[in-house]
């Protein structure tokens, strides 16, 4: 697992790598497809997590 996959990104931060992210609360209930350079969206009000973790990195062709 890469260092970026372990890192938790807070809502509003710039997305460092395009891919699929999930809330790090462990419930696997919220996914977000984010594009590098955009900002991470807010978490759901019901979420107990604090940020987003990379699940699947996008690959450039």
pLDDT in tens, 28-50: 766 778 889 999 999 888 888 99
Rounding to the nearest 10 degrees, give the CA dihedral for residues 32, 17, 49, 47. Answer: -10
Count of CB atoms within 10 A of residue 13's CB? Answer: 12
Distance CA 61, CA 42 (A): 29
Residue 61: pLDDT band (50, 70, 90) is low
What is d(CA 49, CA 2) in angstroms, rounded to the nearest whole number? 21
Exposure class string for 29-39: b at 16+ Cβ within 10 A, else e? ebebebeeeee
pTM over cut 0.85: no
Share of the chain above pLDDT 90, in %: 41
């Amino acid at each position: 697992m890469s260092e970026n996959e372990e890192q938790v990104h807070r809502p509003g931060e710039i997305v460092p790598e395009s891919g699929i992210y999930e809330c790090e609360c462990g419930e696997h209930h919220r996914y977000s497809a984010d594009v590098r350079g955009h900002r991470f969206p807010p978490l759901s009000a019901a979420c107990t997590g604090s940020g987003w973790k990379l699940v699947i990195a996008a690959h450039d062709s």
